[in-house]
A and B are shown apart, each in its own frame.
Chain A
Amino acid sequence: MKIVAVAGSIMGHRTRTAVDYAVKEIKEHYEEVAVELIDLSEYQMVFSDGRNYLDYEGDTLKVTKALMEADAIMIGTPIFQASIPGTLKNLFDLLPVHAFRDKVVSILVTAGSPKHYLIPEQQLKPILAYMKAQVVQTYVFMEEKDFRRKEIVSDDILFRIQRLVEDTVVLTKAYAAMRKEKEDQYGF
């Protein structure tokens, strides 16, 4: 199983810190999973101009290809202006319409205010659904008080991240098994 964990912003460090914890959790407890971390601040991405993702070059091609080849994707996102950051939306725009078909996608959110709690529900999940993802319904919502520099200091959040990783892996396995059972019946 291949999981790509994305830190979806090029600003700040809390989203990256949360994603780091998720990656560490996968590495420590799930031998069968190959995990790759993509921090968008480390890549030079171009804006989507509508072409097939294979027609991009450099970092843009590298990142989109990694996502297309993943079985599951963990998306870390901050909340900017009551929505997801443009960098993350651009990543979605770079991919084909049904890019997340047969993929499980889970969400880690960092926000400056608890008032943003429903933003992923209202703004991120509809995009993932449109792109045909199997979404892990529960997400981990983190606020500034849960962090101290590059460390998560809330046990509640740590436990939630553990459960989110577990749900991501379990759902990916379950979905693959369900699909295999059905596809074996097709006879082609």
Chain B
Amino acid sequence: MDAYRIDQKKGMEFGLYTLGDHIPDPHTKERIPARQRLKEIIELAKLCEEAGLDYFGVGESHQEYFTTQAHSVVLGAIAQATKRIKIGSASTIISTLDPVRVYEDFATLDLISDGRAEIVAGRASRVGVFDLLGYRLRDYEELFEEKFELLLKIQEEERVNWVGDHRAPLKNAQVLPRPLEGKMPIWRAVGGPPASAIKAGAQGVPMFIAMLGGPASSFKESIDAYRQALTEHGHNPEDFPVTTAGGFFAAGTTQEAQRMLYPYFNEGMKLTNGRGFPKQVFAQSSDHRDVMNVGSPQEIVEKILYQHELFQHQRYVAQIDFGGMPFSELRKNIELMATEIVPKVKKYTKK
């Protein structure tokens, strides 16, 4: 785990991530300006650091209702505004970027932040970025696999010789600067089903798995498949961390948390995915076996510990700002994390 800067003696890491969505508040129908949203994201990262959280991630989505398309730039501002918290993507769409440029950006970020930068490389769920940046959607899978492999190669070899289908060849290319300690964590972002988790295991890279909703036991299948694939390919699962990522909202009671979150979640899903989130499914999120961490602080602690028992993961990152959630509510949630949730989670997950 040292290679990924994770010390399990301190307990499971706890972080936050944002997709940088930029959505009107469903109650007022008003949307804050992009400038304010970006500054609030930077402020949110500072609050996370003050609250003792371990990680802050920013994603890129290239369509309407998002505002962190240039996520590495946002992370640069966060690097300057913080001192201790780890920072990274959630995720970087490596398929439609140049891996050389991504490595340059994040290695720079690692130096500016004194060794706190990480890359989480993913494939995009919405695909407007393919047209926008000039890629063919039919190459969706190949673009990701080839460019992700190149990214890993750049990390391993300071001088790179490489030939592929989706980028000009590299001849004895030196990719600079190098990260503070020579390397930085590079994660593979995966969705729910095991297929992608198995690929992460086969590659011997840490896995960042997104969990929107549903029973935790279903996601355990993917995590088990990941660790099995690691073993089958000669890696030791003990060396590779798993991050789980998903929705989070804490309030005084479960009912209050659900009442507060639902309109933001539902309207945000409608705008970004084209359909809302069924109330019937959302209602089941109050069950401790469901992965969505919505409820009172005590219930959330129990849920996260239950998930940890199943997954034995090394980091959990929460998404709390989706759907135009007002900043005042984000602040309250960070306070609850700092005072009532994170200390307990850490206490019971120390190794």
Contact = CB atoms under 8 A, between A and B. Distances in A.
A and B from one assembly?
A: yes
Interface stretch (B143-151, B186-194, B238-246, B278-286): B278-286
Given A54-B126, A188-B258, A101 B274 contact: no
Interface stretch (A148-156, A161-169, A179-187): A179-187
Contact of B127 (A52, A98, A102): A52
Nearest to A98: B275
A188 B282 contact: yes
Interface in A32-80: 49-55, 68
A52 B262 contact: no
B146 to A, nearest CB: 19
A68 B258 contact: no
A32 B260 CA distance: 33
Interface string B246-289: 00000000010011011000000000011100111011000000
A55 B258 contact: no
B138 interface: yes
A96 interface: yes
Nearest to B258: A188
B137 A54 contact: no
A49 B258 contact: no
A99 interface: yes
A187 B255 contact: yes
Nearest to B272: A54
Contact of A187 (B259, B275, B280): B259
Range class of the B interface residue count: 20 to 34
B285 to A, nearest CB: 10
A183 B279 contact: yes
Interface in B127-143: 127-128, 137-138
Given A183-B279, A188-B262, A52 B137 contact: no
Given A182-B280, A186-B279, A51 B127 contact: yes
A52 B273 CA distance: 7
Given A187-B255, A188-B255, A55 B278 contact: no
Given A49-B138, A52-B126, A52-B127, A96 B275 contact: yes
A55 B275 CA distance: 13
Nearest to A101: B278
A159 B275 CA distance: 36
A84 B50 CA distance: 60
Contact of A186 (B126, B273, B283): B283
A81 to B, nearest CB: 27
Nearest to B129: A55
B279 A55 contact: no
Contact of B258 (A96, A101, A187): A187
Given A187-B255, A188-B255, A49 B279 contact: no
A187 to B, nearest CB: 5
Contacts of A98: 275
B278 A102 contact: yes
A159 to B, nearest CB: 36
Contacts of B125: 52
Interface string A93-114: 0001011011000000000000
Interface in A95-140: 96, 98-99, 101-102
B280 A55 contact: no
A188 B273 CA distance: 21
A54 B274 contact: yes
Contact of B137 (A51, A68, A96): A51
Contacts of A68: 274-275
Contacts of A51: 126-127, 137
Contacts of A182: 280
A62 to B, nearest CB: 13
A96 B283 contact: no
Nearest to B282: A188
- Counting chain B CB atoms within 10 Å of each CB, which of A99, A183, A186 scores highest? A186
18 contacts: A51-B126, A51-B137, A52-B125, A52-B126, A52-B274, A54-B126, A54-B274, A55-B63, A55-B126, A55-B128, A68-B274, A101-B275, A183-B280, A187-B259, A188-B261, A188-B279, A188-B282, A188-B283
For the complex of A and B, 8 pairs with smallest distance between CB atoms = A188-B258, A188-B259, A188-B262, A54-B274, A183-B279, A51-B127, A186-B283, A187-B255
Interface of B: 63, 125-128, 137-138, 255, 258-259, 261-262, 273-275, 278-280, 282-283
Interface of A: 49-55, 68, 96, 98-99, 101-102, 182-183, 186-188
Given A188-B261, A188-B282, A188-B283, 14 more contacts: A49-B138, A50-B137, A51-B126, A51-B137, A53-B274, A68-B274, A96-B274, A99-B275, A183-B280, A186-B279, A187-B255, A187-B258, A187-B259, A188-B262
